[in-house]
Amino acid sequence: MDGNGRWAKKRFLPRLAGHKQGVEALRACVQDCRTRGVRVLTVFAFSSENWNRPADEVSGLMALLGLAVVHEIKALSDNGVRLYFVGNRSALSPKLVSALVDAEQKTAMNEQLILNVCLNYGGRWDIAQAASSLASSGTTITPESLDRAMAMAHVPDPDLFIRTGGEQRLSNFLLWQAAYSELYFSDKLWPDFDGTELDAAIAAYSGRERRFGKISEQLTPTLKDGHAD
């Protein structure tokens, strides 16, 4: 969800105002995904590297996350959204961790849309923690065993990977899982990424041919329709 800071700067507002608008954009995006039949939405809220930002921005982001989780839980529940917080919790405050656990428990029965919020997350962290848990239990490391040990093991690999804010890089998001994802880069700043932009991303995705290493002639009509898993 890149571009909050620039969105605020363009309006002569503090960066935190951009992050607040980012929460609004996420709320709308969750609804837009639901109405379009998307079953899993995974967002990058705070990376392992974001701790290096100025201290007031980090503390502002943490406070905003805590507030958003508490405020949104009822509406999310009413809309059938199941929350997961994915990332290394050891550096988060115990108060925030208990709010996250509470939100996960309160939404655990919901089935319409899974919303994964990646928090103090990094793709390299996930690969390393999966490998180290396999090593400590003496399990052979294979692509399949690693896959099962990942913090993202509860959902399929993403079909579509969207980055907003104009940069064309992955920035340590879903490194393992994005092996065959279709990448889509939008110049829109995250607070401006609305339903129309989501439709444009889905339309671009629909036009891609996903071959998964095969050649075009081998693909079944289902695969060509983009329903491969």
Per-residue binding letters, 17-56, with Mg ion (x by CB under 5 A): ----------------------------------------
Tokens representing residue 226 in the block: 């983009």
Question: Between the CA atoms of 106, 99, 131 and 49, what dihedral angle is there, to the nearest 10 degrees?
Answer: 140
Which residue is at the shortest CB distance from ligand IPE?
Answer: 5
173 binds Mg ion (CB under 5 A): no
Nearer to ligand IPE, 158 or 165 (CB): 165
Task: Considering only the stretches 1-9, 110-118, 129-137, 205-213, report the one whose residues sit in contact with Mg ion under the rule CB under 5 A.
Answer: 1-9
Residue 110 corresponds to which amino acid? N
188 binds Mg ion (CB under 5 A): no
Q: Tell me how far, at minimum, the Cβ of 13 lies from ligand IPE, in Å.
A: 12
Q: Judge whether 116 counts as a catalytic residue.
A: no
SS3 content of the chain, % helix, strand, coil (to 5): 50, 15, 35
Nearer to Mg ion, 82 or 163 (CB): 163
Q: Which does 19 bind (CB under 5 to 8 A by kind): ligand IPE, Mg ion, none?
A: ligand IPE
7 binds Mg ion (CB under 5 A): no
CB atoms within 10 A of CB 204: 16
Which residue is at the shortest CB distance from Mg ion?
Answer: 2
Residue 196 corresponds to which amino acid? T
Beta strands 113-121 and 81-86 are: parallel
Q: Judge whether 56 counts as a catalytic residue.
A: no
Nearer to Mg ion, 69 or 189 (CB): 189
Nearer to Mg ion, 4 or 107 (CB): 4
2 binds Mg ion (CB under 5 A): yes
**29 Cβ partners below 8 Å, 6+ apart?**
41, 43, 193, 198
Q: Which does 224 bind (CB under 5 to 8 A by kind): ligand IPE, Mg ion, none?
A: none
Which residues contribute to the site for ligand IPE (CB under 6 A)? Answer: 1-6, 19, 22, 46, 50, 61, 165
Candidates 195, 227, 199, 228; CA nearest to 212 is 228
The rounded distance, in Å, linking the Cα atoms of 48 and 58 is 12
Task: Considering only the stretches 2-10, 84-92, 133-141, 205-213, report the one whose residues sit in contact with Mg ion under the rule CB under 5 A.
Answer: 2-10
Candidates 173, 187, 166; CA nearest to 45 is 173
The rounded distance, in Å, linking the Cα atoms of 86 and 61 is 16
Instruction: Quote the strand ranges of 26-112, DSSP E.
Output: 40-47, 81-86
Q: Which residues are catalytic?
A: 2, 50
Please report, as ranges, the residues that interact with Mg ion according to CB under 5 A: 2
